[in-house]
Amino acid sequence: MKILILGAGKMGSFFTDLLSFDHEVAVYDIDARRMRFLYNTQRLTTLDEIREFRPELVINAVSLKYTLDVFRQVIPYLPEHCILSDISSVKTDFHEFYEQSGFRYVSTHPMFGPTFANLGKLSNENAIIINEGDYMGRCFFKDLYARLGLNIFEYTFEEHDKTVAYSLSIPFISTFAFAAVMKHQDAPGTTFKRHMKIAQGVLSEDDTLLREILFNPYTKEQVEQIRTEMKELIAIIDTKDEQRMQRYLTKIRANIR
């Protein structure tokens, strides 16, 4: 298959490495320097080169902020049989865009990134495939993710965004809170050091990705829930109510079983 990957960032490069030995792959990025370490692939920097390549599948791996705009730029240069796809972490407005585009489409989300995941061993990682797209497109990604050993789940666009708001925004927000009150520790404990490592990893992510997760329309509800729990915990601390503290610990331990 002739596959065009839009964007030569971390995930774009990952998909290029993954697909380039089994398919004819080209990468499009307006910054040629970002493609200098890619191999076994064509490097495209102009839209006319996309027209000449005539891809059968496009994987849009640019930042969410630019995903739909880049689709709009390249669509006039794509053959009508081409399948559009994205790997975005938030899918707001994507369903409507795809339906109006006139192209077949498939939307997925690998629920891992280069920061924490071991890209050589992904059997403990997950991937979501949106079940509201082209059947053959879904089959392609289902087979690809299965070969990587990923755990595959199928959701609607709305179900995906709700899941991401819960599974990503809560740890991100918790990390932000930890980092916001950070003070230098000469002799940090084990728990502190583990939290510090997580915080350093999360905050090393691209700012655009962090905004994507936090600006998910379903994230606010999760933040408000955390705020409610913090109010309860502060009240317990203020009153030094041991019985209430015990009930609270019992509740949260049950949550993580």
Kindly report whether the global pTM for this prediction surpasses the value 0.85.
Answer: no
Mean pLDDT, rounded, for 141-160: 95
pLDDT of the residue at 117? 54
Mean pLDDT, rounded, for 75-88: 97
Q: What secondary structure letter does DSSP report for 112?
A: -
Tell me the two tokens of residue 247.
Answer: 């009930």
Q: Is the pLDDT of residue 116 over 60?
A: no
Rounded percentage of the chain residues whose pLDDT exceeds 70: 96
pLDDT of the residue at 216? 86
pLDDT digits (tens, 9 = 90+) for 176-235: 999 999 888 888 899 999 999 999 988 988 787 788 888 888 899 989 999 999 999 999
- In 3D, which of 143, 7, 151, 154 has the Cα closest to residue 73? 7
**Under DSSP, is residue 94 helix (H, G, I), strand (E, B) or coil?**
helix
Could you give the strand order of the β-sheet that contains 151-155, starting from the edge strand earlier in sequence?
Answer: 42-44, 24-28, 2-6, 57-60, 83-86, 104-110, 126-130, 151-155
Q: What is the mean pLDDT of the chain?
A: 92
Rounded percentage of the chain residues whose pLDDT exceeds 90: 75
pLDDT of the residue at 114? 56
Q: Is the pLDDT of residue 163 over 60?
A: yes
